[in-house]
Amino acid sequence: MAIGETIRNSQIWKSIFRHPMPLDRRNRIVVMLTNFFLHLHPVSIKKQGIALSFTWCMGGVTFFLFLVETVTGVLLMFYYRPTLEWAYNDILALRDVTSLGILRELHRWGAHAMVITTWLHMYRVFLTGSYKPPREFNWVIGVILLLLTLLLSFTGYLLPWDQLAIWAITVGSNMARATPILGYEGPGQQLLTIGGIDMITDGSDARFGLLGARFVGEETLNRFYVLHCIAIPLATSLLLAIHFWRVRKDGGISGPL
């Protein structure tokens, strides 16, 4: 163990890790306070709160899947161009030509799994009554995160640009056409009329705003790509940070009061 000892005593090692190896009680406490990645956690925690049968780990798994999606998503972006000319061909090439040919599988199955684990996490939080005071607001953030997870999955569904993709998005976004007042087939869209001119048409309604066009086309592909890769992940990251911070501030992980 001499080499290990030398490395751990070197200036480089010590400059990176601000604490000795967490082998004794004191250093196990210090490590939680001085390490950036660990300081999200408290130093000590209720033993029954981390029992598997109680917590199911589903929130943590969801976050881990979010990280998996981020990493595989960035790698996919190297190969994928969101244009009508290339989108489908790039996905084909990803399957048939690219090495590490399971990148898209990891991303897609990870996304499905993330939707499921989010539901299970929410289910557990409900069943243990952990949304009750003082955690009401964190539950609200959680509901928004659930919505963002579904939107992430929904916007990503279009990107392979195959039949499955555009028709799923067409069916899904057709609903927006019927938004009350703001959709051109929705109830009350006649109300927004100025000087006899309809304000809500198929070129200005909620569905148009979502798709960037009157039907699912290249504008939609671009729009969903930007939403999927930048806008929604950014919003999700911010809310995740608040979600985790509030877990600590609202009395730590759930357990009987």
Instruction: In angstroms, give the least distance from the CB of 81 to other proteins.
Output: 15
Among 216, 227, 229, 232, binds other proteins (CB under 8 A): 216
**Is the separation of the CB atoms in 25 and 43 below 8 Å?**
no
203 phi, psi to nearest 5 deg: -105, 10
Contacts of 174 (CB under 8 A, 6+ apart): 207
Verify binding: residue 43, other proteins, rule CB under 8 A.
Answer: yes
Say if residue 134 is preceded by a cis peptide, omega within 30 of 0.
Answer: yes
Give the DSSP letter of residue 225.
H
- Residue 194, classed as helix, strand or coil, is strand
Q: What is the DSSP letter of 231?
A: I
Q: How far is CA 74 from the centre of its chain?
A: 14
The verdict on 193 binding other proteins (CB under 8 A) reads: no
| Smallest separation, CB 65 to other proteins (Å) | 7
Nearest approach, Cβ of 2 to other proteins (angstroms)?
25
- The residues in 52-81 that bind other proteins, with binding defined as CB under 8 A, are 52-54, 56-57, 60-61, 64-65, 68
Binders of other proteins among 118-157, rule CB under 8 A?
Answer: 119-120, 123-124, 126-133, 135-136, 139-140, 143-144, 146-147, 150, 153-154, 157
Minimum CB separation of residue 105 from other proteins in Å reads: 4
